[in-house]
Structure 1
Amino acid sequence: MEEAATGGAFSAILSGLAWFFGNIAMSFYNLGYALTHPSSWLDWSDKEAIMRFVYYGGSTEFFFIVLTTFLVLTGIGMWRHNFMWALVRGCEAFGNSVGRIAAWAGLIMVLQQVVIIFVQRIFARPDISFGFGLPVTFDVSWWSEELKLYNAIVVTLCLAYTFIQGGHVRVDLIYAPVKYRTKKVIDMFGSLFFMMPMATLMWLYSWFFLWRHLIVPNPSASETLERLVMKARALRWNVETIAFSPNGFSAYFLFKILIVAMCAFIFLQAATFFWRSYLEWKEGPESEGKYHDHDRVEQGEEAYDHAEF
């Protein structure tokens, strides 16, 4: 019995390894096919192409394409450190740019709230119009609920930016007293075994959550490609426009898109943080913070803990 159990476990391990490396090998073919046949998944005038896009966005094939790309770039970067530093600088510049632009949504949110208060309390108007000629007019409750979108933009699109700037709260139990290189090993481990898996799981849930609010029949993560292609004959767009209150904000599908974008940014930042941690581990303490584009607070711009009158 013990020999049979051991043999079964060993066979399962071999099967798992064969499946893993088989998918790694097939990812080169899958990526090549997708790039050379874009109409099969990007031609959205074809209902079957839409279903293929939905399926592959949350599929094993897409995961292994992303994983293999990360492994190949990491391998080249370990051979050529300048190449990996270029990846780090490019990805961090992208994350910083998106975050700095998205942060302006906070100011827009405040200004719009001020306008809403003036319109309601001073002018006693039930609606607000913006524009000239053919102005955009919505009920005040629509503009009030839209404030949630600005808040969501700040939260989802500034996560990676805040991480790059070191602004997230961290619970430190063993990190501070350990040696420099040990810290970098912890950072690399955290990137690979915490950030990337969590971003992947969130992506898988949010991807189909998004599409269930955009099309019918509703796609499911458990359905095969053949099943989804068969359902494409009955496909039609059914974009979510239901507000939570009468005359309220009716574009809640945008929140689902932001969730998906957030997962992509987290995964990209996990890869970037791994690369930076590896380079700083390899090159030593003198490379810590190398090429880091950190926001600087000028004199007079410091935050105050309290106001004194």
Structure 2
Amino acid sequence: MQEESGITFFGAIWGGLVWLIQNIAGAFYNFGYAVTHPQLWLDWSDKASIMRFVYYGGSVEFFFVVFTTFLVLTGIGFYFRGFMWGMVRGLEGLANTLGRFFAWAGLLMVLQQIIIVFMQRVFARPDISFGFGIPFSQDISWFAEELKFYNALVVCLCVTYTFVQGGHVRVDLIYSGISFRAKKVVDMVGSLIFMMPAAVLTWMYGWFFLWRHLIVPKPSASDSLDRLVMKSRALRWNVETIGFSPNGFNAYFLFKILLVLFAGLVFLHAIAFFYRSFLEFVEGQGSENKYLDKDSLGEGEEAYEGTH
């Protein structure tokens, strides 16, 4: 009985390895086919093309294309550290650029809240209009609920910027007491074991959650490609426009898009964090924070940085 259990266990391990190798090898073909046949998934005048886009965006094939690309770039970076540093600077630059831009949504949120208070309490107006010629006019409750969208912009698109700047709250039990290289090992393991899988799971949930509020028939993560293509015969756009109140904010599908963007940014920064940790581990403590573009409060304000 024990011998049969051992054979079953090793058979499962072997089958898993074969499946992994087959998918990694197939990723090159799938990527090449997708690039050379863009009309099959980007021609949205064809309903079947939309369903193929939905399927592949959350598919095993797409995951292994991304995973294989990561393996290839990592292999090149192991031999050419300058190339890996370039990827770190590029990904961190993307995080900083997005974060510094969308952080202004916090200011817009405050200004809009002030306008809402004045229009309600001082001018006793039920609506607000912006623009010239044909103004954009909505009920005050619409603008009040829209404040949540500004908050979502800051949370979803500034998350990796905050990570680069060291602004996230950390619960440190052992990290501060270990050596520099041990810290880098913890960072590498954390990026691979925690950040990447969490980002993948969030993407998988968010991707189909998004499309279920954009089209009907509603796609499911368990649907095969053939089933989704069959569903495409009855496909029509059904963009979510229902608010929590009768005159409230009615573009909640934008939150679903932000969830997908959030997962993508976290995954990309997990790669950047792994690369930086590896390079700092190899090059030693002298390379700590190398090329790191951190914001500064100005000369003489160093004591306050990292405390906001």
Using structure 2 for the length normalisation, give the TM-score.
Answer: 0.97
Cα displacement string for residues 218-274 of structure 1 (whole angstroms, at most 9, x for unaligned residues): 000001000000000000000000010011000000000000000000000000000
The equivalences for 1:1-309 within 5 A come to: 1-299=1-299
SS of residue paired to 2:145:
helix
2:195 is paired with a residue whose SS is helix
Unaligned runs of 5+ in 1: none
For 1:51 and 1:300, locate their aligned partners in 2 and report how far apart those are by CA, in whole Å: 56
Instruction: Name the SS of the counterpart of 1:132 in structure 2.
Output: coil
Q: CA deviation at 1:87?
A: 0.2
Per-residue CA deviation, residues 75-111 of structure 1 (Å, 9 max, x unaligned), is 0000000000000000000100000101000000001
What 5-or-longer segments of structure 2 have no aligned partner? none
- Superposed displacement of residue 209, structure 1: 0.4
What is the identity, as a one-letter code, of the residue corresponding to 2:122? I
- 1:300 deviates by 8.0
Distance in 1, Cα, partners of 2:130 & 2:300:
36
Q: Which amino acid aligns with 2:81?
A: H
Q: CA RMSD in A?
A: 1.2
| Sequence identity percentage | 65
Partner SS, residue 219 of structure 1: coil
Runs of 4+ in 1 over 2 A off after TM superposition: 299-303
Q: CA deviation at 1:133?
A: 0.4
Give the drift of 1:299: 5.0
Per-residue deviation, 1:2: 1.4
Distance in 2 (alpha carbons) for counterparts of 1:124 and 1:209: 39
Q: Deviations over 1:49-82 (max 9, x none)?
A: 0000000010000000111111111100000000
Q: 90-99 vs 292-301, which deviates more?
A: 292-301
SS in 2 for 1:247: coil
Q: Distance in 2 between matches of 1:116 and 1:235?
A: 40
> Which one-letter code corresponds to 1:17 in the other structure?
L
Residue deviations 1:3-52, cap 9 Å, x none?
11111111111000000011000000001111111110011111000000
C-alpha deviation, 1:113, in angstroms: 0.7
Residue 124 of structure 1: how far off its partner (Å): 1.0
Q: Give aligned pairs, total.
A: 304
Q: For 2:136 and 2:116, locate their aligned partners in 1 and report how far apart those are by CA, in whole Å.
A: 15
SS of the residue 1:176 aligns to: helix
How far apart are residue 298 of structure 1 and its match? Answer: 1.5
Deviation at 1:293, TM superposition (A): 0.1
